[in-house]
Homo-oligomer: A and B are copies of this chain.
Amino acid sequence: MTDHSPSRPKVQQDALLPRNTRRSLPIALLRAREAVMTHFRPMLAEHDITEQQWRVIRILAEAGTVDASEMADRAFILAPSLTRIIRSLEERGLITKAKDDNDGRRVLLQITPAGLAIINEVAPESRLIYETLEKRFGRERIDQLLDMLDELATIHD
């Protein structure tokens, strides 16, 4: 395979180059994630919430009162981001924030009726989109994919 491009820089050997970008795991994960989110984002935008804000209120609806650390774990959001998201959600009246009486360091979060209202509006749509995705990709294959992703995420622990 000769290279006719006149602009190709002279890297000593291609062997020194990293594996081809097209088969890069980080980029592939990014692309896949973005493709999935493309289906969900317009729906969230209609309710004027971001993906991360949705994750937070959804976890509160699932789990009740949750402190910030547990939220960061479950929603996979870094603490500094979570601080800002909490501030924003509280200002909008979608969640409440309270200091833990047993541990003054902790911040306890709860969803408000207004937050629940959004959940109840968005959740059916969300389910529908996910079910469509499942049909097109195959439920078993999604499960298989989730298993592999989980294993990849925990490979170093």
Q: Which residues of A contact B (CB under 8 A)?
A: 5, 7-9, 11-12, 16-21, 23, 25-40, 51, 55, 58-65, 74-76, 110-111, 116, 119-120, 122-124, 126-127, 130, 133, 136-137, 141-142, 144-146, 148-156
Contact = CB atoms under 8 A, between A and B. Distances in A.
Nearest to A65: B7
A141 B8 CA distance: 33
A10 to B, nearest CB: 8
Given A34-B153, A35-B153, A35-B154, A120 B21 contact: no
Contacts of A5: 63-65
Nearest to A54: B18
A123 B14 CA distance: 10
B31 A149 contact: yes
A94 to B, nearest CB: 12
A90 to B, nearest CB: 16
A32 to B, nearest CB: 4
A134 to B, nearest CB: 10
A86 to B, nearest CB: 17
B21 A59 contact: yes
Contacts of A9: 60-61, 64, 110-111, 116
A27 B116 CA distance: 21
